[in-house]
Structure 1
């Protein structure tokens, strides 16, 4: 087999899988994001625990800090080779997340600390205005 045939065969064995959903920026929308992501990852036979926790934290942040009435947030999951990428986009590009561990008595502020601990990499992509996307990658 030539190199092109080998590469095409490898791509057929490891197709790019993706899933996207728009949800209302509410606590209910964040819970639905978690449930839908868990079901999709289950069908892809991907380990759930870390990935669904990351989705839950990023969706909760979008519903809480990225909320703009009348504007949905988007959850996208895709797998390329052995990497699951989770993206949560909202329309509060003016409010970029930052990793700031809360004190033991803080009522919030631990979501990104959890994402940082669970994900292999994570970050924020700005734009186009007013949008931002918080993403995380996990090896599967």
Structure 2
């Protein structure tokens, strides 16, 4: 039982480290992030990817997760609001960006091979949908 408590304590500690690492990568760059990693023990470095993976929301399109990198002036929330806003001229919703379930469906409707970002987004979408269905079933 003590081993489980130790793992739980390590995971809880690493949630804070992971949050700090994410902010450092976005704000200060890879060199500052590397410094954080060098300060960790080998056990912490081995467990950190699992904690980081657990913190990623799987129902968010990949491009939205990386929006801070591709569009540093606007974050995911601003980009999502922009996509959901109706185009004032056409009164239609703008096309969903690649890296989403809707864009994957658009590729298929046009008989195009989906791009890598859309394939990943579709896998995440289907996995999330199946998990929710299984959870609902009991």
Give the TM-score, by structure 1 length. 0.30
**Higher percent of residues as helix:** 2
**Higher percent of residues as strand:** 1
Give the TM-score, by structure 2 length. 0.31
Quick one: higher RCO (CA 8 Å, sep 6+), 1 or 2?
1
